[in-house]
Structure 1
Amino acid sequence: MRWLTGWSGLTAADPALAAVRPLAGTLLWGGPDPLWAVGDWRPDELRLAVLRPGGPATVRGGLDPHDPADSADRDTPATLRLAVAGRCGATDRELADGLAAARGGALRHLTHWPGSYTVVLRAGTRSTVLLTDLAGARPVFHTPFAGGTAYATAALPLADLVGAPVDTAHLAARLATPETPETLGDRTPYRGVRRVPPGHALGIRGGRPGLTSYLESGAEERAEAPAVRELTRALLEAVRCRVRATGPADRPRLGVDLSYGTASATVALLAAAVPLPPGPGTGPGPERPAARTGAVKGSWARRAEPPEPETLPAVTLGDPDGPALAVHAPRLRHLLVPPAAPYADLADPLAGPLTDEPGPALVHAARHTAAHRAGGADHLTGHGARQVLDGHPARLADLVRAGRSLDLLAPLAALAGADRATAGALTGTLHTPVTVLRAARRLARTRYADALDDLALQLTIRQEPLPERTVGRALAADLAWHRPGPAAHLLADEPLAALAQHLRTAARGSAPTEAPGARRARLALHRHAAHYRTLVHATEQHGQRLHAPFLDNQVVRAARLLPDDLRLRPGARHALLAAVLAGTGRTDLPADWGRAPGPDPHAPARRGLRAAAPALVELLDRPLLAEAGLLDAPAARKALAAATDPAGNAPPGTLAALAELVAAELWLRRLTARRPGSSWTGLPAAPRPALET
């Protein structure tokens, strides 16, 4: 795990603080407000810029030897420092220009460069600003420390620094209402450690933190053609800045995921079309004699054979006979990796990695680790495409609100056709369109306060969600401002009652101005980005970098320009990605590309549950979640027994609930077994943290 950390505005006169620093950290700048980088950062992933009065901005690598003239002791209130950590496609000149523009207080332009990165800006000696990304894949955390504020790009080191215990109320909110800001707030699994929301800047002035949004308020939809062109440009730039990276030479430099979807296939084809830069240690080579023309006897032109292009491993998890999306490119070398089942390697729950936060990726870690081990030093994935490009079902209510009911005809007709093929002509032709249209109109006129009260009622009665028999009914159930999490009905009464009371109190506050569909889509993106971050922490190999270009700021901004009716068309994501590839010159894709049915996405989870049933029964025999008062252990064991029954077929909701619970239990056990304060040196000995109820 790689992270940045520092603090600002410390006022406590404690001599012991001078010895506190992150273990194995690299000092990026010193002074009273220092900044460190911790972990296996590459030289091109850390860049620093300094702007002093009366001179131009200078840019250097964060791991380069320090210049004595660049000492922080020479900083004045007019000195500006900029640190960019991660994969950023900006040139050194663009960083210098961006720092000069930030002198006047502008910040938004620092988030418009290609790539995925974190920005730290220090103005003078008493002001520090950190910028998060729009999706939430690169969050920032902060906590009070020694009269000032400590910050980091990971929450666990800050909990180590201040000795923060586990926040069980936040764990309950994550499990019961994972997409409801009223219950989640800015809290983290560690009490007292706060999260900066996506699309916000954390400003620390005089030691006091403050949040400012940099979201564009006037981003309006464009017509289809300009929006697709902007999406093509943004996605191509996102892939290019990854291809230009220079990783270690112990594995292929670049690799791609090639699953059964169009998102990973699009990223693979874009990456294969971008030429790789010269590898490490490959210089221009010895000079060759000038080519001869044959004008003199025996002087035929000597033509050097062009080197073969470096191939990219395209990794697919699956069986040799399983269906796969046909993708052909000269530089792609297809690798088929036998997949490990989810819930594998649970014989010792403490053997796996400890991530910054809990997430379902912990139960799928063994499955994805095999694919990433076979990939490249920079491994590109298609994570986030569904959340960035697809139209959330709740966007149907946005069309009703805007008086665009005619735009509902295409998605309703597609739903009717799908249900007509599976549930009969009457259901598909009549029941499905009527049910979905009623749900969309109901959501369009529902007050936000009433939606919070309805969610509180659902948590109170602890009703197990029933599997919907048709696609239309499942979509209609998702047409709401809020929905309980899949594991909500397995929690204990006390935390659910506390959350319900909190929701009823929040219902008295002001309602958001955002439309329900846009709000649900944004929160779903934030949740997926958090899950992807946990996946990176759990499965990324040493020296490897996993990339999700669809979660970049530029791609998210470009996707927000897409019209709602375009998003909601049947097969919209596949058509958009085919248009992106066509814009880059790949026009030989079939008309039905990506629309063929793939393998059952829930089959591996069912197989993994049955195979790991003994280990899961032992895990839930005396769970720490129950000891903390969060889990109804008998209900969880009953759900596990039903899901592992060979004669049964667990519905997707049950599978998701068990994945959330098992992941939270694994994370909690690994955290309590960890030695406190192991991220820092110079800290006084602290007692082991205990669970607080």
Structure 2
Amino acid sequence: MRWFGGCAPDGPQITPEGARVLWSEPRLWMMGKWPTPLIRMAKNRTALLAIIGPCAATRQDLTPALTAPDLAQAVGHWPGSYIAVRFTARAVVEIITDPSGACPLYTAQTPNGIVWASSARALASLTGGQIDTGWLASYLWDTAAPADDRSPWKGVRPVPPGHVLTLAAGGGRFTTPWWSPPTPRPRTEALRSLRHALSEGIRARVENTPSATDLGGTDSTTLAVIAARHRPLTAITAHPLGHTEGGDLDYARALRVPGLTKIEFPVEAGHLPFSAGTTPMPATDEPPPSTAVWAMLSAQLRLARAHGTLRHLTGDGGDHLFLASPRHLVDYAHNRRWLPLVRDALAWARLRRQPPGPLITAALRRDTEGIGRPWLARPPWLTANISEPHWRPATATQALIASIRTVARTAHADSQLCDAVGVELHNPYLDGAVLNAVASAPAEARFSAHRYKPLLVDAVGDLLPALHRDRATKGTFTASFHHGLRAHLGRALDLSDGRLAARGLIDPAPLRTTLHAAAMGAETNWSMLLPTLAAEQWLATIDHTPAVRWDTTAPAPVGGR
């Protein structure tokens, strides 16, 4: 698994076993295979700078950042998804986290000082290696509910997205925000920023590395078309068992782009959700969203690897950014704009064939979750001692940011999964600059009951053929989940009475009832069920995986100082 970390100045002199040391004073190390484009460093007589992750900045851009009085403002708005680390002669380490949280960062307090890293599980071995049951209980209620100041591991604290972590000699630790939701600007300006952020973020990932993309709906098709402008690549279209035409397949076959090699990947019986898969699941920081489909995902990545791919791009996050629910109704209600509130509520209700009353009521209550996720409910198998999370009232933009940060945090666990196959997983829609561009558009401009993903289409739609630009549907694998659960019901039932039940977090009986009903094809709230099964499997993987071991010797750095 790829991860990185370091120590505070005058902090503990420790390094994970097998690490590649970049700096020795203070420590900065890398674990796993990191291609050169993902690690860039600059230095002068008074400072060291490292940019870790895909970033569109040039080497010339790095030099001014060495002496910039405000590091975050100098480096934080580059397209890509990365962490910036600077060490100065003042014996201060500054670490810049990205606005979306796609590059999570954590700290652990040891007897000798602070250690920081991009892996919470790795740091947990310094703090006792115990799961934070409170975090896990919130996760089971709602994957978006865990508190911002807690991680899945006791003693390991997350650094919030869009913040600067400053570590000084003598034990000083400061966390301050550098990014905040942008002031709304004209839609045309937001569209230009979105086009630049997305195009440059994709270019930074593919131009020097053999890459592949998904090729399914509008989001992944857009990635494929932009990426193919920079280098030849492979595009993979997965399709449900027994479906040889229609849906994503028809659109993928109709796409004609120079440099794009298209591959169709049939989801066979061994790839169905809940299959065991041939590649064991590695231990990750938190339950990965792709746990149920790991057999399919790992097989798809192996197919990409067989075609020479080292990096795979997905469209994750696209729906959350561009397929906006009418959360802006809350803003209308707050500003007493009653006519547009009623107009858009009626339009959405007609589209979804539902009454408008609940939408308007939720808007008046400033309940963005009730509008954006009306299906959200307490899982019936949760035990009574797990209290309901508290969702704070939010504007439409705050709700957008929170949803993207949840997707980015959980997607990081998926990227850790994919390291086991030897393919890097990248999600350009979760880049901080992309989030900043979308959040800068007026909330009502992100919504439409009459057009499909209007911001994305208006920003980059001219790069797509008309057929794909005008598409208003996407493929679905819901039936595959029912088929997979029916085929592997025994395996799923085994997960219902295990480690979560032993911790007093779930009652197995209601969970088994839900599993039986889903296997028979009953309408199922998969967003409620899948995280519980993923958490059970995650705990089992953690129990069978050795903890990260740390070395107190002082290896010589391969770069820096």
> What TM-score comes out, normalization by structure 2 length?
0.89
How far the C-alpha of 1:643 sits from its partner, in A, is 1.8
Q: How does 1:421-460 map to 2 (within 5 A)?
A: 432-443=355-366
**Match runs of 1:216-295 below 5 Å:** 216=180, 219-246=182-209, 253-259=210-216, 261-274=217-230, 276=231
Tell me what 2:558 maps to. none
Measure, in 2, the Cα distance between the counterparts of 1:230 and 1:409. 31
Q: What's the counterpart of residue 522 of structure 2?
A: 649
Measured after TM superposition, the shift of residue 142 of structure 1 is: 0.1
CA shift digits 1:308-348 (9 cap, x unpaired): xx4x22101103224223432132222111122111107x9
In 2: Cα distance, 1:486 partner to 1:569 partner: 26
> Which amino acid in the other structure matches residue 238 of structure 2?
L
Whether 1:612 and 2:456 are equivalent positions in the alignment is no
Q: Check the 8 A contact 2:380/2:511 in 1, yes or no.
A: no
Q: Distance in 1 between matches of 2:112 and 2:491?
A: 46
Which residue pairs with 2:435 in the alignment? 556
Could you tell me how far apart the structure 1 residues matched to 2:429 and 2:382 are?
34
Q: What SS does the aligned partner of 2:143 have?
A: coil
Match of 2:396?
517
Q: Determine if the alignment matches structure 1 residue 381 to structure 2 residue 344.
A: no
* 1:84 paired residue number: 51
1:634 maps to 2:513: no
In the alignment, residue 51 of structure 2 is paired with which amino acid?
V
Shift, 1:543, TM fit: 4.3
CA distance, structure 1, for counterparts of residue 122 and residue 35 of structure 2? 21
Output the amino acid matched with 1:266.
T
Unaligned ranges ≥5, structure 1: 12-16, 53-78, 247-252, 277-309, 421-427, 445-475, 684-693
Distance 1:133 1:170, change over 3 A: same
Query: For the residues of structure 2 that align with 1:351 and 1:580, how far apart are their CA atoms?
Result: 40
Are 2:332 and 2:341, in contact at CA under 8 Å, matched by a contact in 1? Answer: yes
Secondary structure of the residue aligned to 1:356 is: coil
How far did residue 121 of structure 1 move?
A: 1.5
Q: CA deviation at 1:595?
A: 0.9
Letter in 2 for 1:607: H
1:49 aligns with 2:42: yes
* Residue from 323, 342, 354 that aligns with 2:283: 354
Say whether residues 1:321 and 2:245 are aligned partners.
yes
State whether structure 2 residue 479 is matched by structure 1 residue 479. Answer: no
Residue matched to 1:64: none
Q: What's the CA shift for 1:613?
A: 0.2
Whether 1:122 aligns to 2:87 is yes
**2: CA distance between counterparts of 1:203 and 1:159?**
21
| C-alpha contact 2:326 2:345 (8 A) present in aligned 1 | no
> Secondary structure of the equivalent of 1:27?
strand
| TM value normalised by structure 1 | 0.72
For structure 1, which segment, 86-95 or 43-52, has the greater mean C-alpha deviation from structure 2 after superposition?
Answer: 43-52
Task: Check conservation: 1:379, 1:544, Cα contact below 8 A.
Answer: yes
For 2:535 and 2:300, locate their aligned partners in 1 and report how far apart those are by CA, in whole Å. 24
Distance 1:623 1:582, change over 3 A: closer
The question of whether the paired residues in 1 share the 8 Å contact of 2:342 and 2:360 is answered with no
Of 21, 41, 46, the match for 1:27: 21
- In the other structure, the counterpart of 1:568 is 447
Give 1:650's aligned amino acid. Answer: E
Alpha carbons of 1:599 and 1:9: their partners in 2 closer, same or farther (altered >3 Å)? closer
Residue 264 (structure 1) shift: 0.6
Judged with a 3 Å threshold, the aligned counterparts in structure 2 of structure 1 residues 592 and 213 are, in CA distance, closer, same or farther, namely closer
Relative to structure 2, which stretch is displaced further, 537-546 or 335-344? 537-546
Hey, what's the Cα distance between the residues in 2 that align with 1:22 and 1:641? 44
List aligned pairs for 1:668-687, cutoff 5 A.
668-676=539-547, 678-682=548-552
CA distance, structure 2, for counterparts of residue 119 and residue 148 of structure 1:
21
Segment drifting more, 337-346 vs 37-46: 337-346
User: Does structure 2 retain, via aligned residues, the 8 Å contact 1:155–1:356?
Assistant: yes
Aligned CA distance change for structure 1 residues 590 and 674 (closer, same or farther; 3 Å): closer
- Tell which deviates more after alignment, 190-199 or 168-177: 168-177
Alpha carbons 2:418, 2:424 under 8 Å: kept: no
Q: Deviations over 1:581-626 (max 9, x none)?
A: 3455x5x414972214x44442222111111101112232x41111
**How many angstroms does 1:359 deviate by?**
2.9
2:383 to 492, 502, 508: 492
Q: Secondary structure at the match of 1:256?
A: strand
Query: Given residue 76 of structure 2, which amino acid in structure 1 is its aligned partner?
Result: T
Is residue 405 of structure 1 aligned with residue 338 of structure 2?
yes
| Equivalent pair of 2:211/2:311 in contact (CA under 8 Å) | yes
The gaps in structure 2 that reach 5 residues or longer are 554-561
2:556 aligns with none
Partner AA of 2:541 in structure 1: R
**Which is higher, the Rg of structure 1 or of structure 2?**
1
Code of the residue aligned with 1:536 in structure 2: it is S
Aligned partners of 1:574 and 1:593 also within 8 Å: no
- 1:166-205, aligned counterparts within 5 Å? 166-180=131-145, 184-205=147-168
AA at the equivalent of 2:528:
A
Take 2:163 and 2:404, find their aligned partners in 1: how far apart are those partners?
15
Give the match's secondary structure for 1:35. strand
Give aligned pairs, total: 538
Q: Helix, strand or coil for the counterpart of 2:509?
A: helix
Among all aligned residue pairs of Structure 1 and Structure 2, give the percentage whose two residues are the same amino acid: 29
Q: Secondary structure at the match of 1:580?
A: helix
Equivalent position of 2:417 in the other structure: 538
- Provide the C-alpha distance between the structure 2 equivalents of 1:599 and 1:680, rounded to a whole number of angstroms: 46
Q: CA RMSD in A?
A: 2.7
**Alpha-carbon distance between aligned partners in 1 of 2:70 and 2:196, rounded to the nearest angstrom:** 28
Alpha-carbon deviations, 1:549-597, whole Å to 9, x = none?
111121111111222222111255533333233455x5x414972214x
Distance 1:673 1:254, change over 3 A: closer
Contact 1:9/1:208, CA 8 A, preserved across alignment: no
Cα separation, partners in 2 of 1:100 and 1:674, compared to 1, 3 Å: same
Contact map agreement 2:446 2:454 (CA 8 A) in 1: no
Instruction: Tell me, in whole angstroms, the C-alpha distance in 2 between the residues paired with 1:254 and 1:541.
Output: 17
Distance 2:59 2:494 in 1: 55
CA distance in 1, matches of 2:395, 2:456: 26
- Structure 2 equivalent of residue 469 of structure 1: none
